[in-house]
Amino acid sequence: MPLPTGVYRADHVGSLLRPKEILAARADLPTDTNDTSSLRPLEDRYISSVVRKELQNGIRSITDGEFRRAYFHLDFLQHLDGVKVEGSLASTNTSKAGFTPPKLVITGKVKHVKPIQLNDFLYLEGEIDKARKEGVVPTGETVTTKVAIPSPTMCHFRGSRDTISSETYPTLDPFFTDLAIAYQAEIQSLYDAGCRFLQLDDTNLAYLCDPSMRQSAADRHAQTPEQITEQYAELINAAISKRPSDMVIGIHLCRGNHRSQWFASGGYEPVAQVLFQKLNVDVYFLEYDDARSGDFAPLRYLPEHKVVVLGVMSSKSAKLDDKEAIVKRLREASKYVPKGLDQLCVSHQCGFSSTMEGNELTEEQQWAKIRLEVEIAKEVWGSDLSK
């Protein structure tokens, strides 16, 4: 089967290790500010470089490495009216033990007042066009500008009734409606600018696979885990409901990825039927790099028209993945989906730097892992990674 536009047999989640100069500049920002506009010229320069590195190392779904973000979710969500980040995005968290990110609170009516990712997308598009003209993109190869934004569920899961203004939202149905409308506006602004592939990054559906997190979520939100799962599927579906038919939507599920640490365990079985059969996305980027993610049996719910980018490689470890073991796991997973390997791609389980600190490996090791991923994909599916 043909792959959806923007999806490749060797794909990636999006974030890459931050250059030391960007980290140093962020560390020099005042601790009481979330304004990082002064960093933009520096970020531009390194994004220009990383676009070419992605292409030279075989990646065709091109991101800006999330170089403009401290956290994969907060830097985006703080730009919605009514959403406030408690705690600074500028300071570097140097401790791994007991790490918790700054907190999101809903202080008023949630609104989309201006495009959030538009300028970042346009800059990235421009750098890809320059790379094409320079001959960095091989003749005949397709290349996609990939935008990754946090799932709307990130505004709800980690909070509670107390973190959502009861004055603005006496009940929560209007909150979810406003949140979905805000996402519809952002998605439309990206589409109008030429974006055809959008990825939603969602830890929460994966956290709802962890027995202890399921219980704590149920206690926090006074709902069963099953009700929360259904509610999140409805929220995501509403958020993407206005996307034009030629815009592909992916979703990435992650169990935590901070400085090579993880935060949740458990296979996809508790959410699988809703995830695969009720969520109106085209492609799933799934964490599957170790036993914490369970077996491949939940993939049996995957419909024939959808694709899974299987995160069987690890962005957490400096050690290069075992090629034979990865190929074996891909073939094992193919037994559970209707059209076998045709419905699968390969990636690392998450990005290399979901927070600005990054995972514990070097840039050299990161690119070696990406090159191996491309090599594996070509061995399993052939040289054209878009088919």
Rounded CA-CA distance 374/380 in Å is: 10
Per the CB < 8 A criterion, the answer to whether 312 and 288 are in contact is yes
For residue range 195-205, list pLDDT tens digits in order: 999 999 999 99
Rounded CA-CA distance 151/149 in Å is: 7
For residue range 46-57, list pLDDT tens digits in order: 999 999 999 999
Per the CB < 8 A criterion, the answer to whether 159 and 207 are in contact is no
Long-range contacts of 271-278 (CB under 8 A, 24+ apart): 271/205, 271/206, 271/208, 271/209, 271/229, 272/298, 272/299, 272/301, 273/301, 274/229, 274/230, 274/233, 275/205, 275/233, 275/301, 276/301, 276/302, 276/303, 276/306, 277/301, 277/303, 278/230, 278/233, 278/237
- Paired with 343 in beta bridges are none
Q: Which residues contact 376 (CB under 8 A, 6 or more apart)?
A: 10, 323, 326, 327, 330, 346
- Average pLDDT on 66-95 reads 80
Of the candidates 108, 151, 369, 355, which has an alpha carbon nearest to the alpha carbon of residue 240? 151
Q: Where are the alpha helices (DSSP H) in 136-210?
A: 173-193, 204-207
Rounded CA-CA distance 300/116 in Å is: 37
Residue 104 — φ and ψ, nearest 5°? -95, 135
Instruction: State the average pLDDT for the chain.
Output: 93
SS3 of residue 27 by DSSP? helix
DSSP 8-state secondary structure symbol assigned to residue 71: B
Distances (CA, A) of 92 to 16, 24, 191: 17, 9, 33
Fold (CATH) for 20-381: TIM Barrel (3.20.20)
End-to-end Cα separation, the chain, in angstroms: 8
- Average pLDDT on 341-348 reads 98
Check pLDDT > 80 for residue 234: yes
**Is the pLDDT higher at 16 or at 32?**
16
For residue range 257-311, list pLDDT tens digits in order: 877 676 778 999 999 999 999 999 999 999 999 888 999 999 999 999 999 999 9
Check pLDDT > 60 for residue 181: yes
